[in-house]
Amino acid sequence: MTEIRFDGRVAIVTGAGHGLGRAHAHLLAARGAKLVVNDLGGSMDGSGSGSAAEDVAQEIRDAGGEAISHRANVTKADEVQDMVDQAMAKWGKVDILVNNAGILRDKSFAKMTVDDFQAVLDVHVMGSAVCTKAVWEPMREAGYGRIAMTASSSGIYGNFGQSNYGAAKMGLVGFMNVLHLEGAKYNIRVNALAPVAATRMTEDLLPPPALELLKPEAVSAGLAYLVSEDAPSRLVLCAGAGGFAATKIYETDGIYLPPEQQTPEGVAANIDAITATDGQKEFAQGGEQSIKFLSKAAAHLGVSLG
């Protein structure tokens, strides 16, 4: 198989001062990419500041790569635009964006403040949107772009005490789905990584033997594939401890209920048929659901949709 390389490509990795982001940046740089290492330098809850981004950029330069650092707060459009402007001024383009920056403020929903809920959504969802918006037009004009969101099993399946984090991470799957459609004609491919790795975010959640197995570098291998030349689009790639899988969302075929049965009781009486997995499909876009339901209704009523 041909080696996956990024020679001549310019990549921005947010939240790259530690953990997964640092591993992502190092791997992309080792494979030839020019890196913008972004990190506000804060703690896990988003407070504080530091030199983490420049530390990683220097590590890359010491290893013979090209890298600059930027401490943009991903939720602030002016700071993010300055970061993109610096990349464009130095290298003339941005080919790859890895939306990795994130914070945690875990509590049960009963104990969580609205401010803590908002803060996590701001960094994960709005931060990804702000960074993506800043590179979207340059990528459209270039006819090339590779964007990776960072999802999580906390959003896809749920984790106790992470209602804010889970909502944010599932929101990024929806963001990916739409950008996949809007970017297709411009050769912009958008995917999501759902990682589990030994980082600052997981060190208090998992026992030492598990942390030993969860090397960030294994996860970064999947990330590099998602932003490569021959990357797929609209894939949620799950990775951890050397394991790789894909999360897909399917919709059951469902049923049609005639008007007299379109009641809560009618739904309850037919819930087994509604949830039966025979004939379930993975839709490429939301409109396919509308067409399915309309087709079932039209067939039952003998109405032409032509």
pLDDT tens digit sequence for 95-128:
999 999 999 999 999 999 999 999 999 999 999 9
Q: Are 50 and 100 in contact (CB under 8 A)?
A: no
Q: Stretch 44-55: mean pLDDT, rounded?
A: 73
Q: Stretch 185-210: mean pLDDT, rounded?
A: 81
Tell me how far apart the alpha carbons of residues 21 and 166 are, in angstroms, rounded to a whole number. 19
Which strands make up the sheet holding 145-150, listed edge to edge? Answer: 67-70, 34-38, 10-13, 96-98, 145-150, 188-195, 236-240, 243-247
Show which residues are catalytic.
Answer: 165
Question: What per-residue confidence (pLDDT) applies to 47?
Answer: 57
Q: Stretch 235-255: mean pLDDT, rounded?
A: 96
Question: What per-residue confidence (pLDDT) applies to 44?
Answer: 59
Question: What per-residue confidence (pLDDT) applies to 42?
Answer: 65
Question: What is the tens place of the pLDDT at every residue in 12-35?
Answer: 999 999 999 999 999 999 999 999
Q: Which domains does the chain have, with CATH numbers?
A: 10-247 (3.40.50.720), 259-301 (no CATH)
Question: What per-residue confidence (pLDDT) applies to 43?
Answer: 62
Q: Are 172 and 128 in contact (CB under 8 A)?
A: yes
Q: Stretch 280-290: mean pLDDT, rounded?
A: 95
The SS3 assignment for 65 reads coil
Find the length of the chain: 306
Q: What is the DSSP string of 98-143?
A: E--------B-TTT--HHHHHHHHIIIIIHHHHHHHHHHHHHHHHT
Question: What per-residue confidence (pLDDT) applies to 212?
Answer: 78
Phi, psi of 67 (to 5 degrees): -160, 145
Q: Which residue has the higher pLDDT, 43 or 86?
A: 86
CA dihedral 80, 33, 168, 192 (to 10 degrees): 140
Question: What per-residue confidence (pLDDT) applies to 218?
Answer: 87
The SS3 assignment for 236 reads strand
Question: What is the tens place of the pLDDT at every residue in 64-73?
Answer: 999 999 999 9
The SS3 assignment for 178 reads helix
Q: What predicted TM-score, i.e. pTM, was given to this entire model?
A: 0.94
Tell me how far apart the alpha carbons of residues 159 and 205 are, in angstroms, rounded to a whole number. 12
Question: What per-residue confidence (pLDDT) applies to 46?
Answer: 54
Question: What per-residue confidence (pLDDT) applies to 210?
Answer: 73
The mean of the pLDDT values for the chain is 94
- pLDDT at 205 > cutoff 90: no
Confidence of residue 153 (pLDDT cuts 50, 70, 90): very high
Counting residues of the chain whose pLDDT is more than 70, the rounded percentage is 94
Counting residues of the chain whose pLDDT is more than 90, the rounded percentage is 86
Question: What per-residue confidence (pLDDT) applies to 204?
Answer: 65
Q: Stretch 243-249: mean pLDDT, rounded?
A: 97
- pLDDT at 48 > cutoff 60: no
Tell me how far apart the alpha carbons of residues 98 and 179 are, in angstroms, rounded to a whole number. 14
- Write out the two tokens for 188: 């912009």
